[in-house]
Structure 1
């Protein structure tokens, strides 16, 4: 009898992205108003800048899918600029006068924009990403990983708990990290794959990347 084929992993969906963005906003909402200038985990950015960067990532992935002929060799040419030396270069910046509630609303809006594009774009659409020309599912997976990882950074800086569900972690790992460790849970594996944690017998990667290309 031939060996039984392993089932294909479930695809990453817009619902996964909606879920992790909602959970991220809920996790960060209790942050003290005076805590947003603290450092975000091991990053060189503060917590406010990191949430802006996350919102900008989600926005950037959405707009890559938007043109009638999406770019295959570069980004849609919005202007990305930093507000300070060493800060993230974003096209999206939240109005500081709107406070943390406004910042989280910007994050929600960017997440909703990417989820809508993933739902409505043809699965045959391809667009540039530095880690490989990707499809709508790939951009959804990248948005999930960005949200999971950067919420980990910010929650650490703000002293808040963050323990996302296994399902979106597992599906994003299967889509973007084909060599992810299989002997630990999806969330510890994702933290290791993104250089944010050690695993037993595995020091964290010094350099890491994901693979955005569709795998069929």
Structure 2
């Protein structure tokens, strides 16, 4: 193991997804049409987007040579102008519980795939190629911050595991020092809040490049 390294794996993806499903369970159907925090999407659309992220991350490692294909060529569509472009959507007749089931299934698939794939395997991402651990960390970040967006829109208090936040900060934002708490730092790193002495980020990205194993 790398000195000081905090690994991120499928268990952490499952922890993040479980936290998401738990806090959003039982939200009345009508509230899912509310805007998700400061996003231009509804809470429902944001949760669909999360499911889409988790699924498409997992699909990248289903190929024999993941890094040889820029993207799995699935058809992307939107339910409305300005909505997220996804390859997967929830069945509205199944209601919010159905969409939460979709998220849980997609998260479970990513968790299984990253743990089953050789650690040195690379797959493409818009921010640069990454390994299974990097994609696990991406899945955790997507889950935590989009759950935050949704709970903000629903006016439902929520704070995830500080340890999960610390792990993904170390893996994807190694140049961002933790100020106050890992969770508040992750929100700052992803452009969702400002902190004393650190204005809100308007242009951010993570660093998914594989860690040096030397």
> Structure 2 length as normaliser, TM-score?
0.96
- Of 39, 43, 49, which residue of structure 2 is paired with 1:47? 43
1:49-104 deviations in whole A, cap 9, x for unaligned?
00000000000100011101113461111111111111000001000010010010
Is contact 2:148–2:158 with CA below 8 Å preserved after alignment? yes
- Of 16, 33, 40, which residue of structure 2 is paired with 1:37? 33
**d(CA) in 1 for partners of 2:67, 2:174:** 25
Secondary structure, in 3 states, of the residue corresponding to 2:84?
coil
Question: Partner residue of 2:158?
Answer: 162
Moved runs in structure 1, 4+ residues, more than 2 A?
181-184
Question: Partner residue of 1:145?
Answer: 141
Instruction: State yes or no: 1:190 paired with 2:208.
Output: no
> Structure 1 length as normaliser, TM-score?
0.95
Q: How does 1:109-124 map to 2 (within 5 A)?
A: 109-124=105-120
- State the Cα distance separating 1:7 from its structure 2 match: 4.3
| Number of residue pairs matched by the alignment | 211
**d(CA) in 2 for partners of 1:185, 1:9:** 19
Secondary structure, in 3 states, of the residue corresponding to 2:35?
coil
How well do the aligned residues superpose, as a CA RMSD in angstroms? 1.2
**d(CA) in 1 for partners of 2:41, 2:206:** 22
**d(CA) in 2 for partners of 1:19, 1:152:** 15
Question: Partner residue of 1:3?
Answer: none
- State the Cα distance separating 1:132 from its structure 2 match: 1.1
Instruction: State yes or no: 1:85 paired with 2:71.
Output: no
Structure 1 residues 55, 89: CA separation in 2 closer, same or farther (over 3 Å shift)? Answer: same
With 76-85 and 190-199 compared, the bigger mean Cα shift is at 76-85
Instruction: State yes or no: 1:104 paired with 2:100.
Output: yes
- Of 158, 166, 169, which residue of structure 2 is paired with 1:173? 169
Is contact 2:59–2:72 with CA below 8 Å preserved after alignment? yes
Is contact 1:31–1:160 with CA below 8 Å preserved after alignment? no
Instruction: State yes or no: 1:199 paired with 2:195.
Output: yes
**d(CA) in 1 for partners of 2:26, 2:90:** 18
